[in-house]
Chain A
């Protein structure tokens, strides 16, 4: 349909896919509801397409134009972040009550372009703090009806996650170097296949491991330290399970030329949502005291991370 309508239907496809996912995420006895207007998403997509085209042309002519175009667009980033998250939350409903986001432009500006620059200047040392601040901002400004979400996390665990990844990365890098050098010394004249494939294997393994590790740990930490009114959430994802899901998904997607992608998405979502626990009541649902209720999930954030969803 998207192809037949030259891409216009993609916005409707997105809403239908999302409604399907929300409609299958149950919290207690009720499923979530997604109410976005496809026309708004279409408008957002047209805007993105225009921006991408400008960048593409700028890049074609010269790198400097490209950087100039990027610099001009920088002030738009916080605005897009606020709009996208507001759009996503306002269109997520549970029991007839909508979620909401009340973040301000300047707060978003701190956690989006400004701390990128700070992380760059400090060679990445400020990055975990930036992720912490961003999470706190996104959670604290979110609401469900009249109840605000509250984030109780600390920057420490964020540093723990990233330092683990950095140390492991350096260790893996040395292992690869040792392996590469040992194959080189046996055949000094010709570059052996190992010398070519080892760096590729390193890049693949390092990026997969770090992405999955960071995602697993931070998603768990973020949700386990989020409160909604009197309700606490608990999310304990296992790194091993997530790694298996991502690895098997990647293999299956490559083998089927992408046809497995929808299944892959559902597999990860199902696992994350199934691990979700809500302690106490959400929105006046009374549960037996102290007994954790196994449940569906809460909103798109549960699985989709805080990814950007454009909808102006």
Chain B
């Protein structure tokens, strides 16, 4: 049995002593200090041998608090495997796997590929599923509180102000909205008007079902049916509880991505870039769902679905986002949505002709 050279520290002083270490086939560890007739024998199970990390020296902890520093990792592992050969403990096999994984480029590449695949599947399928469960378990009261908080915050930061629309005009639109509620069967929702200030022409649905429309949007519309189309789209968000879903999806993804980045403290936010892009893709899917909901309703109500496309184009021109790449945006391009609207209109026309 060849002995491995090591350095022996008694654990009380920091003075090193040259020594040799042997693991015998009967599973005992023998440490012999060079130059003096001193041998220490311990049972292998009492010696804590840390797992191997790259080729860093390993410090074996002996039961009396002494430490043996071994640099020849290969010989140590061979000697130990020979003693433990039958049967090799499961823990040791796992340690070997870890060492193989994190000491080779191939292992690192495999881990990276697995990570990418896992992250992708979670974002694609896992997060929406988690969100579905979470949203189903959230009581409507909680959702309403969250929605009310958002409005309060907007108000505090002067993002919105009380509406300056003519009350008659407001009542007209409220009546149309009430009609829409009855026709679609979405009951837990209300419509509110605000002056948009920094938001400009905009409409959005809040958790809890409140739909907010800004004065600027009402003024931008060239036809009442355009406003109704926008309202129908927002009602689609309310019906699908999209805001809560998005909240749940993004937070569950945040947890997973934090687990992924783990100890990386210097990485900064760039690491979340792919996460943001995927979150935007969720959001676009919700927008498409809401559009579909709106087209259905508009078709039933005898309003051409292209009205939605018209106002969206005008909005996009105004905000100057036309031509921005789709993947960077939370909404699909107005171009695509108008095309969908035209298709929906063509379908509505076809089915109307079929009925005649």
Chain A residues proximal to chain B, CB less than 8 Å: 1-4, 6-7, 10, 13-14, 16-17, 19-20, 22-24, 29-31, 33, 35, 56, 60-62, 93-97, 145, 249-250, 253-254, 257-259, 261-262, 264-265, 268, 283-285, 307
Q: Give Cα distance in the complex from A20 to B14, angstroms.
A: 22
When the two chains form the complex, which single residue of A6, A60, A93, A250 contacts B67, counting CB atoms closer than 8 Å? A93
**Apart from A19-B53, A23-B56, 7 more pairs, CB < 8 Å:** A6-B259, A16-B53, A19-B56, A60-B149, A96-B10, A96-B11, A261-B264
Q: 0/1 per residue, B59-92, Cβ < 8 Å to A?
A: 1010000110100000000000000000000000
B53 to A95, Cβ gap below 8 A? no
Partner of B256, one of A3, A16, A258, A285: A3
**Is B274 interfacial (CB-CB < 8 Å)?**
yes
- B1 at interface (Cβ–Cβ under 8 A)? no
Partner of A96, one of B66, B101, B122, B256: B66
Binds A, one of B188-196, B265-273, B289-297, B334-342: B265-273
Contact status of A283 and B14, CB under 8 A, knowing A23-B57, A61-B145, A261-B264: yes
Which of A7, A23, A62 is the one whose CB lies under 8 Å from B53?
A: A23
Contacts A261-B266, A265-B266 given; does A95 touch B111 at CB 8 Å: no
CB distance from B336 to the nearest CB of A (A): 27
Lowest 6 A-B CB distances belong to which pairs? Answer: A23-B56, A96-B9, A258-B271, A283-B14, A96-B67, A95-B14
Number of A-B residue pairs with CB-CB distance less than 8 Å in the complex they form: 117
Sort chain B's interface into a size bin.
35 or more
Interchain Cβ contacts under 8 Å between A and B, 29 examples: A2-B259, A3-B118, A3-B259, A6-B259, A10-B263, A17-B263, A22-B56, A23-B56, A23-B57, A30-B57, A30-B69, A31-B56, A35-B59, A60-B149, A94-B14, A95-B15, A96-B66, A96-B67, A96-B69, A97-B9, A97-B13, A257-B274, A258-B270, A259-B112, A261-B267, A261-B271, A262-B264, A265-B266, A284-B15
Q: Is the CB–CB distance between B266 and A96 below 8 Å?
A: no
Instruction: Give the docked Cα–Cα distance between A109 and B53 (Å).
Output: 38
Chain B residues whose C-beta falls within 8 Å of the C-beta of A307 in the assembled complex = 265
In the bound assembly, the distance between CA atoms of A285 and B13 in angstroms comes to 11
- Cα A93 to Cα B67 in complex, Å, equals 10
B67 near A10 with CB under 8 A, answer no
CB distance from A82 to the nearest CB of B (A): 21
Chain B positions within 8 Å of A264 at CB level: 266-267
Contact with B267, one of A20, A23, A253 (Cβ below 8 angstroms): A253
The smallest beta-carbon distance between B54 and chain A, in angstroms, is 6
**Distance between A308 CB and nearest chain B CB, rounded to angstroms:** 11
